Chains A and B, each alone.
Chain A
Amino acid sequence: MGEVLVSLYVFVIAGFLGFELINKVPPTLHTPLMSGANAMSGITIIGALTLATVAEPRVSVLLGALAIVLATINVVGGFLVTDRMLATFRTRR
């Protein structure tokens, strides 16, 4: 099985996994879930890190560096804001 095919398998199975994981989430958690998932989509930071690797300020490196900045904002801000929301949920009971 070629690499492309493996990636496709991974993609399809991950899709099913996502549906299964999120199914039947209580409405109370819709916002934090969305916000947490959003932070997770900042995983693209990993891609950015593998690209901005040389010192020379070429266009590709600058684009990669900008990608790092934006993805980091997404990840750090996303997890923090989710935690902040969930903290208000927790003070109960």
Chain B
Amino acid sequence: MNADIIALVALVSIALFVVGLKRLSRIRTARSGNALIAGGMLLAVVLTLVEQGRIDWRWILGGLAVGSAVGILIVVRAQATQMPEIVARFNGFGGAASALVALSLFWGVVIEPVSADTAFAALGATAALTAVLSVIIGAVTMSGSVLAELKLRGTLDGSPRIPVRTLLMGLAVLTALGAGLVAIGSVDETVAMLAVIGLVIASILVGVILVVPIGGADMPVVISLLNSFSGLAAAAAGFALSNPLLIIAGTVVGAAGLILTQIMCVAMNRSLLNVMIGGFGGAVEADTSDYVSITSSDAEEAAMVLEIAESVVIVPGYGLAQARAQTAAYDVAKALQQLGVNVRFAIHPVAGRMPGHMNVVLAEAEVPYEMLFEMDQINQDLPQTDVVIVVGANDVVNPAANTQPNSPIAGMPILDVAGARRVFVIKRSLSPGYAGIKNELFDMDNTTMLFGDAKKILDELAAELQKAAKR
């Protein structure tokens, strides 16, 4: 096919990506937006295959078939509660693919031909350098995403501190860069090959060192950052192959991921650097003193308070997703609505383990999105709210963020539920949240704890309220 025509069709793909992303960012048009991007991708793939002309198709068709089958299988087998893990996993595949593209280019141009050229000479400076970048970013994305998935699944627990982490990280990054430079500057094929292997290993280590100490409530930041990286890796591969389609699509994804990362950081009042350091950044005087006046009760008593309320706000947290209590929570909300109560869900931007996690979980239970309110929309209503039910959330409702300037979470925007007339907190125990501090909310006079499994308690609540509605 004529090269100009091919370039023009690629432009159509780019247009589909841009329009698709725009539509993806509005609720009403989101699904069609996703379809448009997928269409753009299909067009680009077909175009590339046509452009190749007569080639051996076995690898390509085999690869496409296997990849599609595995992709479909993963999605079909995934449960809705596993979404954060699935997103992390696909992210890792994308990063690995970009690294492999650069490696394949390197092998094909430098190691396999019998010439005495360095990659620098054979590929040109830009392509050689960006190929190295593509390997580094891609491998970091891969190992980081694998760790993130293990953490999200709970296979890997906690967020262990690595001693002298900054130093190790610096060393790994320098090793990767050094090995990369040797690889592209070496005439000797064996040296170049060994250097590339060193480059890959060092980059994988960077990803591990980056993600290992980060966990829990910081996962949304990590996931969006890795998402950004997967785009940047593709963009770097685009530079190496001088393919504008890869550069544009990859960079747009990189920018989008960075924005999300930024939104997540702002929602926690922390800098990206602070999150990357791990833990709650060497906590300042964390208050871990004991609770003094905890009141606890059961579903039956809570239902009696709820049925005479006029307004109820439900605050979901990661505990709700973990207990798969979203349907039970909606049952409670529906029962309350039958009793004429104004029910709303209040969603903190970093509740859960990925950006928008609570929205996905509640959508799965078919909670209408008109019932979901963002922190800024609902905070001023909370003091006039009769009852707040906190389900498996902790740090995002801790008043210490506003009242204690020394608290590690000081200044973090929270859902200000402490001002409501009554607060019920459904939680397994008094164990602290990710920040590792006491939650003053639990100690307040207007707070009643409902200890136990979130799903079980919400089911009981819903049953009690339905009984009340029939009366």
A, B bound:
yes
Interface residue tally for chain A (C-beta within 8 Å): 81
Q: Which residues of A contact B27 (CB under 8 A)?
A: 26, 28-29, 89
Q: Which of A15, A16, A21, A74 contacts B71 (CB 8 A)?
A: A74
CB-based contact B101/A44 at 8 Å: yes
Please, what's the 1-or-0 string for A60-93, where 1 marks a CB less than 8 Å from any CB in chain B?
A: 1101111111111111111111111111111111
A48 to B44 Cα, complex, angstroms:
12
Whose C-beta in chain A lies nearest to the C-beta of B224?
Answer: A34
Q: Which of B112, B230, B369 contacts A28 (CB 8 A)?
A: B369
- Is B35 interfacial (CB-CB < 8 Å)? yes
Q: Which of A65, A71, A81, A88 contacts B94 (CB 8 A)?
A: A71
Residue from A7, A40, A49 with most neighbouring chain B CB atoms (10 Å): A40
Main DSSP-derived SS at the B contact region: helix
Q: Which of B59, B70, B96, B238 contacts A61 (CB 8 A)?
A: B59
Q: Which of A34-57 contact B (CB under 8 A)?
A: 34-55
CB-based contact B347/A27 at 8 Å: yes
CB-based contact A58/B235 at 8 Å: no
Cross-chain pairs A/B with CB under 8 angstroms, 18 sampled: A7-B242, A11-B235, A14-B252, A18-B252, A21-B252, A25-B25, A27-B347, A31-B355, A34-B354, A36-B20, A38-B94, A43-B41, A44-B94, A44-B237, A47-B234, A66-B100, A68-B60, A80-B72
Q: Which of B83, B233, B239, B347 contacts A81 (CB 8 A)?
A: B83
Residue from A41, A49, A63 with most neighbouring chain B CB atoms (10 Å): A41
CB-based contact B104/A51 at 8 Å: yes
Interface residue tally for chain B (C-beta within 8 Å): 110
Known: A26-B27, A34-B356. 12 other contacts (CB 8 A): A14-B248, A18-B254, A32-B356, A36-B20, A47-B243, A48-B104, A59-B107, A67-B96, A69-B70, A70-B94, A72-B68, A76-B72
A40 to B247 Cα, complex, angstroms:
12
